Amino acid sequence: MKHQLSILDFVATLPVTSIVARHDLNQALSCDRVGVMVGGRLIALGPPDTALTVERITEVFGVRASIVVDPSDGTRLFRFHSSP
């Protein structure tokens, strides 16, 4: 995890556009834009709070999600629940 975060921090400092495949949705929340794909097709693209809604998480991944806020720094995070 430490190396993942340090690489993401480094990439964010580069003066280039970066496209990164993230399967950790909480890490994806820190991106400028997020694309959501299903069956090889793009179904959502935009800021994380628009592309990664709790409704879309249920639709795409078949799990219920809720947003929680980390009290230490105000970061929004997903909490996942096994039944939709």
For residue 84, pLDDT over 60 is answered with no
Domain ranges of the chain: 21-81
Provide the b/e sequence for 9-47 (b: ≥16 CB within 10 Å).
eeeeeeeeeeeeeeeebeebbebeebebeeeeeeebeee
For residue 82, pLDDT over 90 is answered with no
pLDDT digits (tens, 9 = 90+) for 72-81: 999 999 999 9
Mean pLDDT of 53-68: 94
Q: Maximum distance among all alpha carbons in the chain?
A: 42
Cα 59 to the chain's mean position, in Å? 15
Closest C-alpha among 70, 68, 69 to residue 79: 68
Q: What is the structure's pLDDT at 20?
A: 85
Q: Considering Cα of 26, then 29, then 53, then 67, what sign does the dihedral take?
A: positive
